[in-house]
Amino acid sequence: MNELRAALEAILFVSNEPVTLDSLAEALGEKPDAVAKELEEIKNFLDVNVGGFTLEHTGGGWRLATRPEHEDVLKKYFARKGESRLSIAALETLAIVAYRQPITAPEINDIRGVNSSAVLHTLLERRLLRVAGRKEVVGSPFLYRTTREFLIHFGLNDIRDLPRLEEFGDLIGEPMSDDVVAAIGVQSAAVDDQTE
């Protein structure tokens, strides 16, 4: 094994978030093309020699991740460790923000039909959402957007990689309320019509 590959694997193994190509190249004193080539070779090796890990490009960077086929055993393991999961309310709120961003709390409340302030607070604490300014209307409510942590959490490289709204439940591992899906879809269509 060459030294560049070994160094890349070491950095990716200890990183708790995706590492950009530029930061890898800078840390290793290599050209980005050489690092990109080696990353692809590592990815191909892991894909051919199936084990517990894969190398994925997500959140604008590279990270080692467990394989999707191990999801059930990992869920069991972490359930026993008491990992806190997101509630259905949090997942619905994330979906609304993801597909309608930037969006205000009153707009989220209208779609969900309930007050979402506690859920928004939790999602901000977990860094899955961020405040992205204020809407220029009476009261100047905060605008919310998803974060890089959101992309990483759901294994997306870019917000444009979101699945169709109807498939979002599969991504989050929980079924979404038909009313919320319909409200997001109808309101998204209205927003699209206004922007054309």
User: Could you tell me the pLDDT band of residue 82, with boundaries at 50, 70 and 90?
Assistant: very low
User: Could you tell me the pLDDT band of residue 169, with boundaries at 50, 70 and 90?
Assistant: low
Residue 45 pLDDT > 90, yes or no?
Answer: yes
Q: What are the C-alpha distances in Å from 79 to residues 69, 83, 90, 96, 106? A: 17, 6, 18, 26, 34
How far is the C-alpha of 48 from the C-alpha of 77, rounded, in Å? 26
Please give, one letter per residue, the 3-state secondary structure of 23-38: HHHHHHCCCHHHHHHH
Quick one: pLDDT at residue 42? 93
pTM of the predicted model, to two decimals?
0.55
Q: Are residues 60 and 95 in the same domain?
A: no
Q: Are residues 99 and 135 in the same domain?
A: yes
Q: Are residues 119 and 177 in the same domain?
A: yes
Q: How many other C-beta atoms lie within 10 A of the C-beta of residue 54?
A: 16
End-to-end CA distance of the chain: 53
How many degrees, rounded to 5, is the angle at CA 110 between CA 107 and CA 116?
80
Quick one: pLDDT at residue 68? 84
User: Could you tell me the pLDDT band of residue 190, with boundaries at 50, 70 and 90?
Assistant: very low
User: Does some domain include residue 83?
Assistant: no
Q: Are residues 51 and 99 in the same domain?
A: no
Q: Picking from 75-84, 149-158, 161-170, which range would have the lowest pLDDT averaged per residue?
A: 75-84
- List the structure tokens of 92: 């619905």
The total number of structural domains in the chain stands at 2
Segment 150-172 mean pLDDT:
77
